[in-house]
Structure 1
Amino acid sequence: MGLTDLVLVNPRCFPDDEATRLAAGAEDVIDAARVAETLSDAVGDCVQVVGASARLRSMPLPHYDEPDEMARDVVEKAITDPVALVFGRERFGLTNDEIGHCSHQVSIPANPDYGILNLSQAVQVLAYEVFRAWRRRPGSGFIPQRPAHDRPPTHEQLHHFHSHLSRVMQASGFLTQPHAHTEKQLQALFARAQPSRKELSLLRGLLSALEPKDAGEN
């Protein structure tokens, strides 16, 4: 998911052949991982530290109920300063003392009948949300530039299209007189459809083919 700066806090065993074997193509992340004696040391240079845990009412920290909200915030801050996502142990997560070193908490919504995710699942979900938020930023390189003909039409182009459509409807006898209600309904229909410039051009070509030659053009 593009996260490469892994810090392990007082690991029981590291380096570890089993961890490397399970890295599944991310061995470089394991090889470059840093070890810190304490969580405080690990996050000392971070401007935002988000602990992944169930909401603790006894900890008055800002809390993200939705991971995507957290992701947008940390990605924005990470442009200029280090940020951290903190995960606890597989068996019992983060202690209250460790959460006390965090500036925020985040929870992952889950089925209330079984709302527990294992560590790897929690890491994957939050890492994905961060990656998703990052790739949506302008300049990330992941947002493809739409060709001009695939872009939304301008207000002027839509105005000319609806004028053309109205003219053809009247010339064909579909409307025997200007009918504002029908035209507004059609405008709303095309607003919902959100045609591209290319599609709008195709529709105007169709209207031109149907339009009587003496009806005049816009």
Structure 2
Amino acid sequence: MLPNIRIVLVQTFHPGNIGAAARAMKTMGLTDLVLVNPLQFPDAEASRLAAGAEDLLESARVVGSLGEAVTDCVQVVGASARLRSLPLPHYDEPDGMARDLVEHAAADPVALVFGRERSGLTNDEIRLCSHQVSIPATPEYGILNLSQAVQVLAYEVFKAWRQRPGSGYLPQRPEEERAPSREQLGHFHDHLTRVMRESGFLTQPHARTEAQLQALFARAQPSRKELSLLRGLLASLEQHLPERQG
């Protein structure tokens, strides 16, 4: 189960933070590290601060975008120090997030995403997530270092895994009951947008409407079977739309 839990660091500025994050991961049994456009990697400072977790640095994957890092994941949780205006589901407490993440990880990849040291994640990057989570801290000084944030959330995930009854593993979900990947959800939302435009429901680009519908389906958490049913409904509606004049 734990190998299905991925830590994604986006455009990390200080290479030492990558090493410290790898060390935090290893203490909690996490091994899948993905780096999105790090400023400098590999780097001796990253290896020094990994302090025994150099194997995670050696196996880390470097990719060009957050979308590439999470395309196969069924749940993507963005760690954010502050709430955004985007209507994504938000975990008020990290332990609730960890329980859900571990449950999904029993069958499919999931990801915890951490942004830049100073500015965090952009709104466009948050849109690639299915949920947000914040770490409660004192209002007087609620700023955590990147590796500290990784440590806190990795601990919550490890604790949720340890506290599972019995063997700590869920029985394998049937394929149709599993949560869809981000790629599958992306195809669905593209299909939905196309039908809305061709039907005349959207007469011009309307990002707010599309974002609200994406948030609706993120809250609903449809299974792969349910998403397939919705795709079938959209395909049927398309057949009854008047042909567009070229």
Pairwise TM-score range, normalised by the shorter structure: 0.5 to 0.7
- The answer to whether the 8 Å contact 1:77/1:83 transfers is yes
Q: How far apart are 1:109 and its partner, in Å?
A: 0.5
Q: CA RMSD in A?
A: 1.3
Write out per-residue CA displacement over residues 138-176 of structure 1, whole angstroms, 9 at most, x where no aligned residue.
3139xxxxxxxxxxxxxxxxxxxxxxxxxxxxxxxxxxx
Q: Is 1:52 matched with 2:83? A: no
Q: Is 1:136 matched with 2:163? A: yes
* Residue aligning to 1:207: none
- The answer to whether the 8 Å contact 1:62/1:105 transfers is yes
* Residue aligning to 2:149: 122
Q: Is 1:105 matched with 2:116? A: no
Q: Distance in 2 between matches of 1:116 and 1:55?
A: 11
Q: How far apart are 1:54 and its partner, in Å?
A: 2.8
Q: Distance in 1 between matches of 2:143 and 2:48?
A: 26
Write out per-residue CA displacement over residues 119-150 of structure 1, whole angstroms, 9 at most, x where no aligned residue.
11111000000000011113139xxxxxxxxx
TM-score normalized by the length of structure 2: 0.56
Q: Distance in 2 between matches of 1:17 and 1:134?
A: 33
Consecutive unaligned residues in structure 1, runs of 5 or more: 142-218
Count of residues paired in the alignment: 141
Q: Distance in 1 between matches of 2:167 and 2:35?
A: 31
Q: How far apart are 1:13 and its partner, in Å?
A: 1.5
- The answer to whether the 8 Å contact 1:55/1:63 transfers is no
TM-score normalized by the length of structure 1: 0.63
* Residue aligning to 1:75: 102
1:164-203 map, 5 Å: none
Q: Distance in 1 between matches of 2:82 and 2:38?
A: 25
Q: How far apart are 1:57 and its partner, in Å?
A: 4.1
Q: Distance in 1 between matches of 2:168 and 2:56?
A: 21
Q: How far apart are 1:77 and its partner, in Å?
A: 0.2
Q: How far apart are 1:70 and its partner, in Å?
A: 0.2
Q: Distance in 2 between matches of 1:56 and 1:62?
A: 11
Q: Distance in 1 between matches of 2:151 and 2:109?
A: 20
Q: Distance in 1 between matches of 2:80 and 2:94?
A: 12
Q: Is 1:87 matched with 2:114? A: yes
Of the candidates 4, 15, 18, which is equivalent to residue 45 of structure 2?
A: 18
Structure 1 outlier segments of 4+, above 6 Å:
none
